[in-house]
A and B are shown apart, each in its own frame.
Chain A
Amino acid sequence: EAQVTQNPRYLITVTGKKLTVTCSQNMNHEYMSWYRQDPGLGLRQIYYSMNVEVTDKGDVPEGYKVSRKEKRNFPLILESPSPNQTSLYFCASSLLAPPVAYEQYFGPGTRLTVT
């Protein structure tokens, strides 16, 4: 089954404790992206990757890091989480990057709370 998986689905952590949210896709997609979703603001892009070893900042990259060492995996790293990073996070992938029109596949989401 074609899918994007994220782990963990829920996470409560404390300020400053490094964490990683994993994302993996099994569709051989080149384009992967991380978004955060906050009430009233919609989905905002954090980082994206065009292919292995090619990553770039989205609209809200501060406080986040990513890596793309393998095509299928695109982890999101919070080196020193802060309460303003409490949010719902989605990983997504598509065969190629926008503006080429390909269907977007989203992971199930990770609800992060930083206290």
Chain B
Amino acid sequence: KNEVEQSPQNLTAQEGEFITINCSYSVGISALHWLQQHPGGGIVSLFMLSSGKKKHGRLIATINIQEKHSSLHITASHPRDSAVYICAVPLYNTDKLIFGTGTRLQVFP
């Protein structure tokens, strides 16, 4: 069983739709990262959170430490949101990050 699992693997949406991407993990963590990988390949950090909720523009990330689950929401989705979204968690008491396999989102006009 993967230590970090994302769902869905692929997601298509019409512009304006509300998007939810889920990440579940089985290890104890100090924080969770959400990353965005553009079609060109570059990876940028969107959020790092250890509790509650964070918001940046149309993006909202939530985490429930007890349930070992995080969600990334995109409100009023736009074609420029099309990307692969990756969650990552540090393994507690190690120097490593482990990554989900990503959710590929396509938003059509």
Contacts and interface: CB of A to CB of B under 8 A. Distances in A.
Interface residues of A, number: 30
B95 A98 contact: yes
B101 A100 contact: no
A43 B102 CA distance: 9
A48 interface: yes
Contacts of A109: 41-43
B68 to A, nearest CB: 15
Nearest to A50: B95
Nearest to B28: A99
Interface string A80-99: 00000000101010000111
Interface stretch (B13-21, B44-52, B70-78): B44-52
Contacts, number: 68
Contact of A56 (B29, B91, B92, B95): B95
A54 to B, nearest CB: 10
A99 B43 contact: no
A108 interface: yes
Contacts of B96: 45, 48, 58-59, 98
Contacts of B25: none
Nearest to A44: B99
B107 to A, nearest CB: 22
A58 B95 CA distance: 9
A45 B31 contact: no
A55 B100 CA distance: 24
Contact of A103 (B48, B90, B93): B48
A42 B44 contact: no
Contact of A41 (B29, B33, B101): B101
B27 to A, nearest CB: 10
B42 A97 contact: no
Contact of B45 (A42, A48, A104): A104
9 contacts: A31-B95, A41-B101, A59-B96, A98-B30, A99-B90, A100-B30, A101-B30, A101-B48, A103-B33
